[in-house]
Structure 1
Amino acid sequence: MPTTHSGRQWKVGRLAADTGLTVRTLHHYDDIGLVRPSGRTSTGHRLYEDRDVHRLYQVLALRQLGLSLDAIAAVTDGGASLSEILDAHRAYLDEQLAATRMLRAHVEMLGRKVRTSPDASVADFLEVIRGVIDVDDTIKQYFDESQLADLAERRAELGEDTIAAAETSWKVLIPRVDAALSAGMDPTCAEAQEMAAQWMGLLEQFHGGDDGLRESLYRMHTDNAQRIEQEFCGPSPEQIEFIAKANEARSA
């Protein structure tokens, strides 16, 4: 970037060379009103003065942050505060980062499957991709993009075999708890505490001890308990209450 001196002027070619930009870029900035030259030569060529170069400094600095040209124009023209623009841009970057993390987790999971199942067909991989990427709209209401990325990373870390084993464990454990309730089992007894330990361990596999994930999971279940029980054979409120008492006794 050129050093500015009072009264100095730059033709577009020299300014482009000094800044590393192209003449075409400077022309575009002029056309959209982002950085306009203060003067023209007698033959109509653009002439940039100190204040123009200073504005170009601002534009390039904001561009380095990844701001769009529209956002930069709003800031440099005083139409929006830099704080507001940066807050919005940070939120956008957070979404992009979460999406990248999720994509990386999916690639990691598929890479593991390729290594362990070299004979799998394209259809097999497409089925896996659909199962991992398709997220129920209900889940999206309770987990933000960052949390969904956390879950995708945990799934990739645990592996499909571990996930399948956990699903099988739930299918065995929930009927056991239901049978214990029907038999009038004391939730403080050793067998009930053993079931509570397994229950909490399976939940731990899901949320990994993250308080935010745990809270979102519990909130989702509370709001959708009937649907989860009917459509997914999830635990009933009575079963959850039994496990809560057993877990309290286990922790005492």
Structure 2
Amino acid sequence: MREAWKVGALARQTGLSVRTLHYYDEIGLLCPSQHTEAGHRLYNSKDIARLQQIKSLRQLGFSLDEIRECLKRPAFSVAGVVQLHLQRLREQIEVQHKLYGRLETIAQWLERQEQVPVAEFLKVIEVMSMLEKYYSPEQMEELKARRATVGEARIKEVEAEWPRLMAQVQAEMDKGTDPADERVQELARRWRGLVNEFTGGNPGIEQSLRTMYEQESNVSGMDTAAMRPMMEYMQRAWAASGG
């Protein structure tokens, strides 16, 4: 093994740039043990070993400040830093997993469309962002599986049924029909049935759905602010039936 390396030779050997090695010297992270008479940096075997440690720690995600402290102080809590980076990685993996799921859903949606206007595409992304705000990752997975089970044809039928049902509910509200009346009770049963087709009867998903409709003014083109009195009317109907 050669006794000393000039900075250029070390850069070529390690794949680091000369500028990076100079910077490591400037911040006191990797200072060459020797210099030539002309002042050029010379790195010995101990310097090379330290550089390998630096590169290993960088690969683990350590910052340069953390690496300097780690190598300078034997009592430095390496375990603590490792745990910190594990947490960061878990967060990054969660973000990437969510992004993967979003892109997968968008890809499946795009496959079903002949032509997708940009505005419609952006609307899909907006809806997905809203869903992720209210549903847990586990609930999102369950909803995805639920969609596959129900099928696209039935989903379209349900989407078409909601406006008709809401118009009928609004009509009974305008007439002042008692929620216990059989006409309203039938509407309440249909309402519950459509909700259950979406939630699969999962009370956690139903609660997330209710929270979203209470806090958002528009969900998938539905005026949820206008729907809230209807939802209260339906709840009174369910209470009247003991459901």
Bin the TM-score by the shorter chain. Answer: 0.5 to 0.7
Structure 2 residue 68 is matched with structure 1 residue 77: yes
Structure 2 residue 163 is matched with structure 1 residue 171: yes
Q: Distance in 2 between matches of 1:35 and 1:168?
A: 66
Q: How many residues align?
A: 219
Contact kept? 1:39, 1:47, Cα under 8 Å? yes
The aligned counterpart of 2:33 is 39
- Read off the aligned partner of 1:39 and give its amino acid letter: S
C-alpha RMSD of the superposition: 4.8
Scaled by the length of structure 2, what TM-score is found?
0.61
Compute the displacement of 1:129 (Å): 0.8
1:156-195 correspondence runs (5 A): 163-177=155-169, 182=177, 184-185=179-180, 191=186, 194-195=189-190
Query: Higher relative CO (CA 8 A, sep ≥ 6), structure 1 or 2?
Result: 1
1:107-186 correspondence runs (5 A): 107-113=107-113, 117=114, 120=115, 124-135=116-127, 139=130, 142-143=133-134, 146=137, 163-177=155-169, 182=177, 184-185=179-180
Percent identity for Structure 1 against Structure 2: 13
The aligned counterpart of 1:53 is 49
Q: Distance in 2 between matches of 1:135 and 1:220?
A: 11
Compute the displacement of 1:185 (Å): 3.7
Q: Distance in 2 between matches of 1:39 and 1:27?
A: 18
Which protein shows a greater Rg? Answer: 2
The aligned counterpart of 1:103 is 103
The aligned counterpart of 1:236 is 231
Scaled by the length of structure 1, what TM-score is found?
0.59
Residue among 166, 186, 197 paired with 1:202 = 197
- Read off the aligned partner of 2:126 and give its amino acid letter: D
- DSSP-derived class of the 1:236 partner: helix
CA shift digits 1:139-181 (9 cap, x unpaired): 3794379589759957985787655433212223334455677
Q: Distance in 2 between matches of 1:203 and 1:28?
A: 56
Q: Quick one: structure 1 residues 52 and 214, their matched pair in 2 at CA, closer, same or farther if it must change by over 3 Å?
A: farther
Q: Distance in 2 between matches of 1:34 and 1:145?
A: 46
The aligned counterpart of 1:219 is 211
Q: Distance in 2 between matches of 1:233 and 1:28?
A: 61
Structure 2 unaligned segments of length 5 or more: list them. Answer: 71-76
Q: Distance in 2 between matches of 1:242 and 1:221?
A: 19
Q: Distance in 2 between matches of 1:141 and 1:97?
A: 12
